[in-house]
Structure 1
Amino acid sequence: MPPKRKGTGAGQRKGRKRNIAELEDVSAPAMDNTRDEDIIWIVGDSLIYWAAQYLLPWGESALNLHLRNRRVTWKGYRGGHLADVPAIITESMSRLGGSHVPAVVIIHMGTNDLVGLDLLAFKHLLESVIAECKRLLPNTIFMWSGIIPRHFYKGARSQKGIDEKRKEVNKIAKRILARSEGRVIRHDNFRWDMSYLFRDDDVHLDILGQDQFTGNLRRALHFFLRHPEELEYHPVS
């Protein structure tokens, strides 16, 4: 299990939303023989940024989620929204000059949209985002990493109500990804009332939460490599 530390100092402060051009990639050093089919991008909001920071001290194998001959790049866009995903992919492709297109892109985004968007608007937005992502990367498999609960949703009239909305959003995402030959990673081992998984801000994950979240991603990727025909990964509670 990872060493116990209360997040990262800077992570305790509320940060501004960055410009897409300031996107901070975290990955192990590239190998000369890296093939496109070995490349995985994880695109998301601050949860992905801090997950990468959490794994960084553990080195290359941890950042690659212990996948042999795979290279995982963490693209955490703090303050990000679902609508930002195509721009993040476009920026990432621009940096690479068209080389090393990923075989898999995991999307973990949408938490910051739960309060502001109703279900129908979220559905239409996600359909548009996935369609644009497929246009940009037609041979890439897209995976939806289910929105996990927060212990506190700022601006929500009802904490439990917004968490029910989160569950409905993940169901909508499953249907959309199924039509797009994508995959779904569930995080059913998280509940909004599990305060011990969160930092004091009730939003970002603490050590136990980080370990559980990154473990879900790791086990899901291993699962899909063994069972490429499956649509959905369920974590063991």
Structure 2
Amino acid sequence: MLRASKVRTSKSKSPYARPPTRGAVVASRASTRMPNVTSSSSGPSTVAVTESTGRIYDRSQSLPVPVVQPTVQPVLDRARAPSDQTVEPSVAGSSTNTDGIWVVGSSIIHWAQKYAQQNIDDNLGLTSQRIIWQGIRGMVWSRLYQTIKEILRQCNRHPTLLVIHCGGNDIGNPRNTLKGLQKYMKLTVSKITRLLPKTIIVWSHILPRRNWSLCLSNKDGENWRTRLNSALATFVVKKVCGASIKYPDILSTQGTLFRKDGLHLSDLGNELFVTSLKNALLQFMSSTDRFYPLIKQ
């Protein structure tokens, strides 16, 4: 193996010593073999923060907030469902209002929409806003931002409210750490607020499960879920002036709220989930002041 010679500075150099040309040549050759490395930007480094001006729609005043990069890369979903290739949002209602409510997430949202179609209606009884559902079965957090961008491209309008219910399928993945996943999720929410600056972001709490298949134990999975919910709810409410929705009636995995797989909600569980979501949206629509205190953190 070739090595670049080192020049000693502690002793005087002999007048008969050969100039260290070989070492310089080796060093130059080594430098020519080094590949060009181009640093890539991981995204904007500021978070849009809206000041309280009496109305939640005012996001004109922004303060730069440094964003910490995640310590690990999110796990990409290798087995993508056919719906991942082309996102086709399900639009409920016939309102021509330029705004709307987007409900985006994983299979919990998919089955909640199915339940609403059969028992209430797609628009959950709302008349002044239309609901756009986008529930992708098996959805992981790394697909959230692109999904929202695709809905925006198809609808060509910003929503009044964006409900995010995602992240449960990332819990316990061995390529993630809890701290790294928290940072990555916050970074994504910050990107969404820049993409939709006039939209109110609502964090929908990750629901418990009977079986956390990627975790060493169900107790470990519940610990991840609790800490992620706390971190994201605090970030959304305090940093982007949004809101969060809890589901206190679905905190227990006992009884008949879940299917046999311990992951998806039963009809009773979907009824509780949809009812809580509907009540939160109705409170928002009936509020004349800042709405997020009405939906408890």
Q: Would the TM-score normalized by the shorter structure come out above 0.5? A: yes
Q: Identify the residue that residue 135 of structure 1 maps to in structure 2.
A: 194
**Deviation of 1:167 (Å):** 0.9
Please name the residue that 1:109 is paired with.
166
Over 3 Å counting, the alpha-carbon distance change for 1:29 and 1:190 in structure 2 is closer
- Output the aligned Cα RMSD: 2.1
Mapped pair 1:20 → 2:84: yes
Of 62-71 and 218-227, deviating more is 218-227
From 223, 230, 237, give the equivalent of 2:292.
Answer: 230
Give 5+ residue unaligned stretches, structure 2.
1-78
Bigger Cα Rg? 2
CA–CA distance in 2 between the matches of 1:232 and 1:108?
A: 19
1:1-237 correspondence runs (5 A): 17-18=81-82, 20-31=84-95, 33-36=96-99, 39-58=100-119, 62-96=121-155, 98=156, 100-116=157-173, 117-178=176-237, 179-225=239-285, 226=287, 228-231=290-293, 233-234=295-296
Query: How far 1:85 sits from its partner (Å)?
Result: 1.3
What is the CA deviation profile of residues 119-155 of structure 1, one whole-angstrom value per residue up to 9, with x for unaligned ones? 2112211111111111211111110000011121112
Quick one: distance in 1 between partners of 2:261 and 2:82?
20
| Structure 1 range deviating more: 128-137 or 40-49 | 128-137
CA contact (8 A) 1:86 1:133 kept: yes
CA distance in 2, matches of 1:17, 1:153: 21
Conserved? CA contact 1:163–1:192, under 8 Å:
no
Relative contact order (C-alpha < 8 Å, sep 6+): which is higher?
Answer: 1
Structure 2 SS opposite 1:149: coil
Displacement of 1:234: 4.4
Segments of structure 1 that go 5 or more residues without pairing to the other structure are: 1-14
Task: Give how far 1:215 is off.
Answer: 0.8
Closer, same or farther in 2 for the Cα pair 1:203/1:165, shift >3 Å?
same
TM-score of the aligned structures, taking structure 1 as reference length: 0.82
Instruction: Give how far 1:231 is off.
Output: 4.1
Compared CA separation, residues 135 and 145, structure 1 to 2 (3 A): same
Q: How many residues align?
A: 214
- Contact 1:123–1:172 (CA under 8 A) maintained in structure 2: yes
How far off is 1:21 after superposition? 3.5
Equivalent position of 1:7 in the other structure: none
Deviates more, 1:127-136 or 1:19-28: 19-28
Q: CA deviation at 1:25?
A: 2.3
Contact 2:105 2:136 in 1 (8 A): yes
Whichever structure has more strand as a proportion of its residues is 1
* Structure in which a larger fraction of residues adopt helix: 1
SS where residue 189 of structure 1 aligns? helix
Alignment partners' CA distance in 2, 1:85 and 1:158: 27
